[in-house]
Amino acid sequence: MLLSWFGANARDLPWRKTRDPYAILVSEVMLQQTQVERVIPRYLAWLGRWPTAAALAAASPADVIREWQGLGYNRRGLNLHRAATHIAAHGWPDDLTELPGVGPYTAAAVGNFALGRDVLPVDTNVRRIEERTGHDFEPAAAQALMDLGATVCLARVPRCGVCPLAALCPSRGRRYEPLRKQSRFEGSFRQRRAHTLRLVADQERPLSELDGEAVASLARDGLVRVESDVVALPS
Ligand code: SF4
């Protein structure tokens, strides 16, 4: 039922047209904290520029940080670069969580979608469906579950009337409390960091012109370097 629903309703996503582990890794890291619609053009541009792990490894961290601008949570870009450097030098590790920035979910997603491993990547959508249905799904259902969670089994008001699992679902017809909102970006320290990094990505600048706290935090993450009171991207 679920798989035939997926056959008719699958979202057309560019990373579903490949089984290249590097391309899947890029998509999964971008999707960690950025919405699908915003990721699609950035994923295509990234692969156009750096089509392989070796190509990305050969890029400078500064170029990677510039290319990542606008996706948010910039450490992800830097970690992706570090992961590519590891892959280019040593190949893919068996345990993908050895790669920088790759946690159990991302490892499971790359394992399933690219390497055909028998593991179900459980993101928020998949977990929600498992909790509501009380069912443990097979790894082969991963993409279908992700689309079902994104378009039908929604967090607050699920669309049970069009759900392929409705006949067996004990939660059918329920409504849920609004989720906790993500903390506001406007006026946040995250925004100050993003603004500061954008300025430095444009050109190196004297420390005195910048938000010192944001610079210190960015430097701790390796996103900028400070030398003789001048702030620049890592070389
Ligand atoms: S019937 Fe409703 S609650 Fe159950 S899986 Fe489908 S959409 Fe979610």
Mind listing the pLDDT tens digit for each residue in 98-107? 999 999 999 9
Enclosing H/E stretch for 226? strand 225-227
The residues annotated as belonging to the active site are 28
Ligand 1 centroid to residue 149 C-alpha, Å: 9
- Is 172 near ligand 1, meaning CB less than 6 Å away? yes
Of 188, 234, 186, 183, residue with least CA distance to 214: 188
Mind listing the pLDDT tens digit for each residue in 48-77? 999 999 999 999 999 999 999 999 999 999
Ligand 1 centroid to residue 110 C-alpha, Å: 27
Reported confidence tier of residue 181, pLDDT bands at 50, 70, 90: low
Residue nearest to atom 2 of ligand 1 (CA): 160
Task: Give the pair of three-digit tokens for residue 62.
Answer: 């500064």
- In total, the chain counts a number of residues equal to 235
- Residue 169: how many other CB atoms lie within 10 Å: 19
Ligand 1 centroid to residue 193 C-alpha, Å: 39
Task: Give the pair of three-digit tokens for residue 101.
Answer: 């920035």
**Atom nearest to 165 CA in ligand 1:** 6
- Is 158 near ligand 1, meaning CB less than 6 Å away? yes
Q: How many helices (H) and strands (E) does the chain have?
A: 11, 3
**Atom nearest to 159 CA in ligand 1:** 7
Instruction: Categorise residue 12: left if φ over 0, alpha if ψ from -120 to 50, beta otherwise.
Output: beta
**Atom nearest to 172 CA in ligand 1:** 1
Reported confidence tier of residue 183, pLDDT bands at 50, 70, 90: confident
Ligand 1 centroid to residue 101 C-alpha, Å: 32
Residue 128 to residues 29, 35, 50: CA-CA distances in angstroms?
A: 21, 18, 35
pLDDT above 80 (res 180) = no
